[in-house]
Copies of this chain bind each other. A is one copy, B any other.
Amino acid sequence: MLSALEFYFDFYSPYGYLASLRIDEIAARQGYEVIWRPFLLGPAFAATGHRPLLDTPLMGDYVAHDFARSARLQGAVFRLPEEFPKAALAPSRAYYWLFDQQPENAKKLAKAVYRVTFEQGRDGTQPELVADLAEPLGVDRKQLLTAITTAEVKERLKQETQAAMARGVFGSPFVFIGDEPFWGNDRLEQVERWLQTGGW
């Protein structure tokens, strides 16, 4: 019996951030857990031919407006980092490194990264900042900073990103209930309904 959803996201995705604030609670209400799976949007954009939303002609202004409006609707603080978007290598690598040892702490780290990035508008891609956020979780900062430079951890993120795309993930956030795919923060109401009803 299925008991967990999978939540794919990029650490520099505003809609991923907004979904991250709700997904665990939505799943828990229906008795499910959520496995968080960061990946890099860059390779997915390379495949779809899309550009980051804010850089897309005609769409940019709307999307900036919708980020803020969507945040207000769900009562979330939202602030765009000055340099945006960026490839979120350090937090994504740190996530998987930590996940293999302490999955709960990996999720806490992910939440902390999203918080500094989109609540405070800081640069959540900086390794030192990621290490700062991991320290209160009992993670040795030197160990983390070393780990994310190893070929093994780099390769792990690459493989996770490729596996996500092989599964059909092309945007952030992206949720799977079993094999049922849902793309976008604005599909979370459908995710809850699917969990409740078993589909329609």
Contacts and interface: CB of A to CB of B under 8 A. Distances in A.
Contacts of A59: 48, 170-171
Q: Please report whether the interface of chain A is mostly helix, strand, loop or mixed according to DSSP.
A: helix
Contact of A190 (B73, B183, B184, B193): B73
Interface in A151-176: 165, 168, 170-171
A50 interface: yes
A138 interface: no
Contacts of A62: 168, 170, 181, 183
Nearest to A190: B73
A73 B194 CA distance: 10
B56 A48 contact: yes
A58 B167 CA distance: 9
Interface string A36-75: 0000000010011111000011110110011001001100
Interface of A: 44, 47-51, 56-59, 61-62, 65-66, 69, 72-73, 165, 168, 170-171, 181, 183-184, 186-187, 189-190, 193, 200
